[in-house]
Protein backbone atom coordinates (compact mmCIF):
# COMPACT_ATOMS: atom_id res chain seq x y z
CA UNK A 1 0.00 0.00 0.00
CA UNK A 2 1.20 3.50 -0.75
CA UNK A 3 -0.28 6.66 0.63
CA UNK A 4 0.74 10.25 1.14
CA UNK A 5 1.02 12.15 4.39
CA UNK A 6 2.14 15.68 5.20
CA UNK A 7 4.45 16.45 8.07
CA UNK A 8 5.50 20.06 8.61
CA UNK A 9 6.53 21.40 5.20
CA UNK A 10 7.67 18.03 3.88
CA UNK A 11 5.76 15.38 1.96
CA UNK A 12 6.41 11.86 3.21
CA UNK A 13 5.64 8.70 1.23
CA UNK A 14 4.94 5.45 3.05
CA UNK A 15 5.80 2.57 0.75
CA UNK A 16 5.75 -1.20 1.03
CA UNK A 17 6.98 -3.79 -1.44
CA UNK A 18 8.95 -3.38 -4.62
CA UNK A 19 7.71 -2.19 -7.99
CA UNK A 20 7.40 -4.49 -10.98
CA UNK A 21 6.72 -3.60 -14.61
CA UNK A 22 4.67 -6.77 -15.26
CA UNK A 23 1.13 -6.28 -16.52
CA UNK A 24 -1.69 -8.03 -14.69
CA UNK A 25 -5.30 -8.25 -15.82
CA UNK A 26 -6.86 -8.69 -12.39
CA UNK A 27 -7.43 -5.56 -10.37
CA UNK A 28 -5.76 -6.77 -7.17
CA UNK A 29 -8.67 -6.60 -4.77
CA UNK A 30 -10.26 -3.60 -6.47
CA UNK A 31 -13.70 -3.52 -8.00
CA UNK A 32 -15.15 -2.19 -11.24
CA UNK A 33 -18.80 -1.24 -10.77
CA UNK A 34 -21.49 0.61 -12.70
CA UNK A 35 -22.18 4.24 -11.78
CA UNK A 36 -25.84 5.30 -11.69
CA UNK A 37 -25.57 9.09 -11.29
CA UNK A 38 -23.12 11.66 -12.63
CA UNK A 39 -22.29 15.21 -11.51
CA UNK A 40 -19.77 17.96 -12.23
CA UNK A 41 -18.63 20.74 -9.95
CA UNK A 42 -16.66 23.37 -11.85
CA UNK A 43 -15.06 26.24 -9.99
CA UNK A 44 -12.69 27.06 -12.84
CA UNK A 45 -13.17 29.55 -15.66
CA UNK A 46 -11.90 27.79 -18.79
CA UNK A 47 -11.98 30.92 -20.99
CA UNK A 48 -8.72 31.16 -22.90
CA UNK A 49 -7.31 27.94 -21.50
CA UNK A 50 -5.19 25.46 -23.41
CA UNK A 51 -5.87 21.76 -22.84
CA UNK A 52 -2.65 19.84 -22.17
CA UNK A 53 -4.30 16.46 -21.53
CA UNK A 54 -7.89 15.24 -21.40
CA UNK A 55 -9.53 11.87 -20.73
CA UNK A 56 -13.11 12.65 -19.73
CA UNK A 57 -15.06 10.29 -22.00
CA UNK A 58 -17.01 8.57 -19.22
CA UNK A 59 -17.33 4.77 -19.56
CA UNK A 60 -20.21 4.32 -17.12
CA UNK A 61 -18.00 2.55 -14.59
CA UNK A 62 -15.92 3.45 -11.56
CA UNK A 63 -13.02 1.74 -9.80
CA UNK A 64 -12.54 1.32 -6.06
CA UNK A 65 -9.45 -0.24 -4.57
CA UNK A 66 -8.53 -2.06 -1.40
CA UNK A 67 -8.90 0.93 0.90
CA UNK A 68 -9.30 4.51 -0.25
CA UNK A 69 -5.82 5.52 0.91
CA UNK A 70 -4.17 3.09 -1.52
CA UNK A 71 -2.65 4.83 -4.55
CA UNK A 72 -3.99 4.00 -8.01
CA UNK A 73 -2.20 6.19 -10.53
CA UNK A 74 -2.81 6.91 -14.22
CA UNK A 75 0.02 7.62 -16.66
CA UNK A 76 -0.25 11.07 -18.25
CA UNK A 77 1.59 12.27 -21.36
CA UNK A 78 0.68 15.86 -22.24
CA UNK A 79 0.71 17.43 -25.68
CA UNK A 80 2.50 20.57 -24.48
CA UNK A 81 6.26 21.18 -24.28
CA UNK A 82 8.32 20.84 -21.13
CA UNK A 83 8.14 23.84 -18.83
CA UNK A 84 4.40 24.39 -19.45
CA UNK A 85 2.70 25.44 -16.22
CA UNK A 86 -0.30 23.42 -15.09
CA UNK A 87 -2.93 25.93 -14.03
CA UNK A 88 -6.15 23.92 -13.78
CA UNK A 89 -6.90 20.29 -12.99
CA UNK A 90 -10.11 18.33 -13.42
CA UNK A 91 -10.22 15.01 -11.57
CA UNK A 92 -12.84 12.33 -10.93
CA UNK A 93 -14.37 10.79 -7.82
CA UNK A 94 -16.86 7.94 -7.28
CA UNK A 95 -18.62 6.35 -4.32
CA UNK A 96 -20.40 3.01 -4.10
CA UNK A 97 -21.43 3.47 -0.49
CA UNK A 98 -25.11 2.94 0.30
CA UNK A 99 -27.24 3.06 3.44
CA UNK A 100 -29.61 0.59 1.83
CA UNK A 101 -32.33 3.09 0.86
CA UNK A 102 -31.40 3.19 -2.83
CA UNK A 103 -33.91 1.04 -4.74
CA UNK A 104 -34.96 1.02 -8.41
CA UNK A 105 -33.32 4.36 -9.10
CA UNK A 106 -34.94 6.15 -6.17
CA UNK A 107 -33.58 7.26 -2.82
CA UNK A 108 -30.24 8.86 -2.03
CA UNK A 109 -28.68 5.67 -0.73
CA UNK A 110 -26.53 7.81 1.55
CA UNK A 111 -24.27 10.78 0.82
CA UNK A 112 -20.66 10.64 2.02
CA UNK A 113 -18.30 13.55 2.61
CA UNK A 114 -14.72 12.87 1.57
CA UNK A 115 -11.27 14.42 1.92
CA UNK A 116 -8.56 13.41 -0.52
CA UNK A 117 -5.12 14.23 -1.83
CA UNK A 118 -4.18 14.58 -5.50
CA UNK A 119 -0.60 13.46 -6.16
CA UNK A 120 1.34 14.33 -9.32
CA UNK A 121 4.40 12.09 -9.53
CA UNK A 122 7.32 12.09 -11.95
CA UNK A 123 8.07 8.84 -13.76
CA UNK A 124 11.17 6.84 -12.90
CA UNK A 125 13.50 7.31 -15.92
CA UNK A 126 14.60 3.67 -15.71
CA UNK A 127 11.31 1.83 -15.21
CA UNK A 128 8.66 4.36 -16.26
CA UNK A 129 6.79 3.60 -13.03
CA UNK A 130 5.93 6.33 -10.50
CA UNK A 131 9.03 7.65 -8.73
CA UNK A 132 7.80 8.27 -5.19
CA UNK A 133 11.02 10.10 -4.43
CA UNK A 134 10.21 12.68 -7.14
CA UNK A 135 6.76 14.07 -6.43
CA UNK A 136 5.71 17.21 -8.30
CA UNK A 137 2.83 18.13 -5.99
CA UNK A 138 0.43 16.83 -3.34
CA UNK A 139 -2.80 18.83 -3.37
CA UNK A 140 -5.35 18.37 -0.55
CA UNK A 141 -9.05 18.68 -1.41
CA UNK A 142 -11.64 18.52 1.38
CA UNK A 143 -15.38 18.40 1.86
CA UNK A 144 -16.42 16.66 -1.36
CA UNK A 145 -19.94 15.21 -1.17
CA UNK A 146 -20.74 12.11 -3.24
CA UNK A 147 -24.08 10.31 -3.44
CA UNK A 148 -24.63 6.58 -3.48
CA UNK A 149 -23.36 4.81 -6.62
CA UNK A 150 -22.52 8.25 -8.00
CA UNK A 151 -19.46 9.74 -9.60
CA UNK A 152 -18.37 12.96 -11.17
CA UNK A 153 -15.61 15.42 -11.97
CA UNK A 154 -14.41 18.47 -10.08
CA UNK A 155 -12.16 21.29 -11.33
CA UNK A 156 -9.63 23.21 -9.23
CA UNK A 157 -7.30 26.14 -9.85
CA UNK A 158 -3.66 25.29 -9.07
CA UNK A 159 -1.78 28.11 -10.80
CA UNK A 160 -0.45 29.42 -7.48
CA UNK A 161 1.42 26.12 -6.99
CA UNK A 162 3.55 26.80 -10.11
CA UNK A 163 3.53 23.14 -11.21
CA UNK A 164 5.68 22.71 -14.33
CA UNK A 165 5.47 19.65 -16.55
CA UNK A 166 8.43 17.81 -17.96
CA UNK A 167 8.66 16.42 -21.48
CA UNK A 168 8.22 12.83 -20.29
CA UNK A 169 5.28 11.03 -18.75
CA UNK A 170 4.06 11.70 -15.23
CA UNK A 171 1.57 9.87 -13.02
CA UNK A 172 -1.59 11.28 -11.45
CA UNK A 173 -3.14 9.63 -8.39
CA UNK A 174 -5.82 10.16 -5.78
CA UNK A 175 -5.69 8.94 -2.17
CA UNK A 176 -8.72 9.39 0.06
CA UNK A 177 -7.72 10.50 3.54
CA UNK A 178 -11.14 10.55 5.20
CA UNK A 179 -14.71 9.53 4.36
CA UNK A 180 -17.67 10.13 6.66
CA UNK A 181 -21.40 9.57 6.34
CA UNK A 182 -24.19 7.16 7.21
CA UNK A 183 -23.37 3.55 8.02
CA UNK A 184 -22.76 1.39 4.96
CA UNK A 185 -25.45 -1.27 4.39
CA UNK A 186 -22.94 -3.99 3.47
CA UNK A 187 -20.89 -3.41 6.61
CA UNK A 188 -17.68 -2.43 4.80
CA UNK A 189 -15.68 0.66 5.68
CA UNK A 190 -16.83 3.79 3.83
CA UNK A 191 -13.32 4.49 2.55
CA UNK A 192 -13.17 1.05 0.89
CA UNK A 193 -15.95 2.02 -1.52
CA UNK A 194 -14.63 5.30 -2.94
CA UNK A 195 -12.36 5.75 -5.93
CA UNK A 196 -12.15 7.19 -9.44
CA UNK A 197 -14.22 7.13 -12.62
CA UNK A 198 -13.06 4.98 -15.52
CA UNK A 199 -12.92 6.79 -18.87
CA UNK A 200 -11.97 5.99 -22.45
CA UNK A 201 -8.72 6.77 -24.23
CA UNK A 202 -7.34 10.30 -23.97
CA UNK A 203 -8.66 12.80 -26.51
CA UNK A 204 -5.76 15.20 -25.83
CA UNK A 205 -2.33 13.87 -25.02
CA UNK A 206 -1.86 10.14 -24.41
CA UNK A 207 -2.31 7.51 -21.71
CA UNK A 208 -1.60 3.78 -21.95
CA UNK A 209 -4.26 1.14 -21.31
CA UNK A 210 -2.99 0.43 -17.80
CA UNK A 211 -2.70 2.01 -14.36
CA UNK A 212 -0.29 1.66 -11.44
CA UNK A 213 -1.58 -0.21 -8.40
CA UNK A 214 -0.05 0.82 -5.10
CA UNK A 215 -1.58 -2.30 -3.56
CA UNK A 216 0.72 -4.56 -5.59
CA UNK A 217 3.44 -2.23 -6.90
CA UNK A 218 2.87 -3.09 -10.56
CA UNK A 219 0.79 -2.20 -13.62
CA UNK A 220 -2.82 -3.35 -13.98
CA UNK A 221 -5.55 -3.12 -16.58
CA UNK A 222 -9.11 -4.32 -17.21
CA UNK A 223 -8.49 -6.54 -20.22
CA UNK A 224 -9.28 -3.69 -22.60
CA UNK A 225 -12.93 -3.45 -21.53
CA UNK A 226 -13.18 -0.87 -20.10
CA UNK A 227 -10.04 1.06 -21.07
CA UNK A 228 -7.80 1.52 -18.04
CA UNK A 229 -7.95 5.30 -17.81
CA UNK A 230 -9.16 7.44 -14.91
CA UNK A 231 -10.86 10.80 -15.42
CA UNK A 232 -8.29 13.62 -15.65
CA UNK A 233 -7.86 16.88 -17.50
CA UNK A 234 -4.92 19.30 -17.23
CA UNK A 235 -5.03 22.82 -18.63
CA UNK A 236 -2.71 25.79 -18.88
CA UNK A 237 -3.66 29.45 -19.18
CA UNK A 238 -1.31 31.32 -21.54
CA UNK A 239 -0.04 34.54 -20.00
CA UNK A 240 -0.70 37.82 -21.90
CA UNK A 241 2.98 37.90 -22.86
CA UNK A 242 2.89 34.36 -24.20
CA UNK A 243 -0.27 35.07 -26.20
CA UNK A 244 1.40 38.14 -27.70
CA UNK A 245 4.37 35.98 -28.75
CA UNK A 246 2.00 33.43 -30.31
CA UNK A 247 0.30 36.28 -32.18
CA UNK A 248 3.60 37.59 -33.51
CA UNK A 249 4.57 34.09 -34.60
CA UNK A 250 1.33 33.86 -36.56
CA UNK A 251 1.97 37.22 -38.23
CA UNK A 252 5.49 36.14 -39.14
CA UNK A 253 4.25 32.89 -40.62
CA UNK A 254 1.66 34.78 -42.67
CA UNK A 255 4.28 37.13 -44.05
CA UNK A 256 6.54 34.20 -45.01
CA UNK A 257 3.71 32.65 -46.99
CA UNK A 258 3.19 35.85 -49.03
Break the chain into its structural domains and give their ranges.
3-257
Would you say residue 21 has pLDDT above 70?
Answer: no
Best CA proximity match to 30, nearest among 228, 201, 182: 228
Top-confidence residue, 20 or 82: 82
pLDDT tens profile 219-245: 988 887 889 999 999 999 866 544 333
> Residue range 54-58: average pLDDT?
91
What is the reported pLDDT for 160? 92
> Residue range 28-39: average pLDDT?
73
What is the reported pLDDT for 244? 38
**pTM for the full model?**
0.80
Q: How confident is the model at residue 101 (pLDDT cuts 50, 70, 90)?
A: confident
Q: How confident is the model at residue 180 (pLDDT cuts 50, 70, 90)?
A: very high
pLDDT tens profile 126-156: 999 999 999 999 999 999 999 988 899 999 9
Amino acid sequence: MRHFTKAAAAVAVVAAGSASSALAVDVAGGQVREVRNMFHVDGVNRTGTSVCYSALDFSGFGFTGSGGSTIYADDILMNKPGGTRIDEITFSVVSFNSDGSYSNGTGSGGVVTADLQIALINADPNTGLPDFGSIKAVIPVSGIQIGSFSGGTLSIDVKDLNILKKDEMMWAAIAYTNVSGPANADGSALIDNVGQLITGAATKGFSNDFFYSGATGDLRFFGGNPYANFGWEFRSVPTPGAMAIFGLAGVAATRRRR
